[in-house]
Structures are given as structure tokens and as C-alpha cells.
Amino acid sequence: MALLLATARRANRPESEPALPPVRSLHYYLPVLDEVIAEPPPTAYRKYLISRLNQEQQTNDALKDVRNDGQDQDTR
């Protein structure tokens, strides 16, 4: 759950905020692990996060497809 929560928080950061550096260590997740251990989120929230991340992934995939289609047309 902690990995899911941290991933969702990173994915849903406002675009106006500076980009975060890549996660280079599991140490990044320690505060979220502590948070989840102290107060586990409800099951419904976990399902919501999974749904949001799936939507985000679908949007990213669609954007990649559009960009790739544009590059294919440029090379013709």
C-alpha cells in the first residue's frame, strides 16, 4: 500500500511544482511506510488510487501514441 500511495502522490503532483528527481532508493518510501503502518487507509481508498493510476497510465499511453504518430508522419 505504501508504494501505491507514494506513486500516486508523485503522479498527481501539480504541474506547476518543480519536477521530482527519480526515486533511487527504497529509503524514499520510509515516511509513507510509517504513515501506512500508523494509520492504514481504507480499502475503498486503495481501490480509488489504483483506478486513478490506471487512468493516468492510459492517458500517458495515449499521449505517447499521438506523439509517435506525429513522428511517423514527419519522416514520410
Q: How far apart are the first and last CA of the chain?
A: 47
d(CA 3, CA 14): 19
Q: Which segments of the chain does DSSP mark as H helices, in order?
A: 2-11, 30-38, 43-74
Going residue by residue through the chain, which has 76 residues, state the pLDDT in tens, using 9 for 90 and above: 899 899 888 888 898 999 889 999 999 999 999 999 999 999 999 999 889 888 888 888 888 888 787 665 555 5
